Amino acid sequence: MIFISSSISAPPEDLSYHKKLIDYTYDKSMHIILYGMLAWLIVNFLRELKIKYRYIFYITIVFSYLYGITDEWHQSFVPGRGVSYWDLVFNVIGAIFGFIVYRLWHVVRKRGWHAKNVHNKGIL
């Protein structure tokens, strides 16, 4: 998904158009979402290998960062695209976000807080 989206050429820039906050927000939120999904997959894979979360966190962040570097390098060859160090920052933020969401999901699942149990225990 990341490779495909970064392979899409950008349309020629309209010099009269000034990027708005919504353009910037959309771009960076896509980095967070896509790299969050990548982190989720990495964490899920590493959990199957019975690795401790502390190590999984570091492996996930490093792998996501390295993949982000290769993705930025790849974008440098795509017409209308370029390298952005801010994209790398938001890639890592997305990876951290994905790790945290996975960890919270795993804790909730482990404790059995499913919808049917919530109703049976009188929580809702």
- The CA-CA-CA angle for residues 98, 76, 95, to 5°, reads 5
Enumerate residues 6+ apart whose C-beta is below 8 A from 97. 32, 36, 39
Range of the domain at 55: 21-120
Average pLDDT over residues 25-31: 88
User: Is position 46 within any domain?
Assistant: yes
How do residues 36-73 score in pLDDT, each as one tens digit? 999 999 999 999 999 999 999 999 999 999 999 999 99
The total number of structural domains in the chain stands at 1
Express each pLDDT in 83-111 by its tens digit.
889 999 999 999 999 999 999 998 888 88
Question: Per the domain annotation, does 11 fall within a domain?
Answer: no
What local confidence, expressed as pLDDT, does residue 107 receive?
86
User: Is 66 a domain residue?
Assistant: yes
Has residue 15 been placed in a domain?
A: no
- Classify the C-alpha dihedral 37-43-49-55 as positive or negative: positive
pLDDT at residue 11, as a whole number: 62
**71 Cβ contact partners less than 8 Å away, ≥ 6 residues apart:** 2, 3, 6, 91
pLDDT given at position 124:
37
